[in-house]
Amino acid sequence: MVSSVVGDLERISEKVVNIISKKKNFIEKNNFIPVYHDNLVFDFSRQHINASILSKLIQLSEECGLRKKINGLFEGQGGSLHIQLRSQEKNSKKSDDELYLKINNEKKRMLAFATKVRSKKLKGWTGKPITNVIVLGLGGSVLGPKFVIESVDAEFKLTTTTLYFASNPDGFELKNTLLQSNPEKSLIIIQSKSLTTPELYLMFSQVKQWFEAHSCPKFKELNQMAVVTSNIELALKLGFLQDTVFWIPKFVGGRFSVWSSIGLPVAIAIGRNNYNSFLEGAADMDQHFLLEKASTNIPLLAALIAIWNQNFLKFKTQHVATYSSKLDFLIQYIQQLEMESLGKSLKTDGSPCLTETSAIVWGGSGIQGQHAYFQLLHQGTSIVPIDFYGLHPSYRVENRAEKKGHNFLCENLKVQADALAFGDPKNNFPGNRPSSIIWLKELSPSSLGGLMSLLEHKVFTMGILWGINPFDQPGVELGKKMLKK
Catalytic residues, by residue number, are 340, 371, 480
The rounded distance, in Å, linking the Cα atoms of 341 and 332 is 14
Of 442, 83, 41, 441, give the one whose Cα is nearest residue 279: 83
Distances (CA, A) of 232 to 138, 235, 248: 18, 5, 9
Among candidate residues 417, 459, 307, 454, the one with its CA nearest the CA of residue 30 = 417
- According to DSSP, residue 38 is labeled T
β-bridge partners, 484: none
Cβ atoms 318, 385 nearer than 8 A: yes
Please name the helix (run of DSSP H) or strand (run of DSSP E) that holds residue 15, with its range, or none.
helix 6-21
Instruction: Write out the E strands in 192-252.
Output: 225-229, 245-247
Q: What is the DSSP string of 429-453?
A: B-----EEEEEES---HHHHHHHHH
- Backbone φ and ψ for 429, nearest 5 degrees, come out as -110, 100
List strand residue ranges (DSSP E) for 283-430, in order.
Answer: 317-322, 360-365, 386-391
| Beta-strand pair 435-440/40-46 | antiparallel
**Helix 298-307 × helix 264-291 angle, to 10°:** 80
Q: DSSP alpha helices (H): ranges in 292-399?
A: 298-307, 330-342, 366-369, 374-379
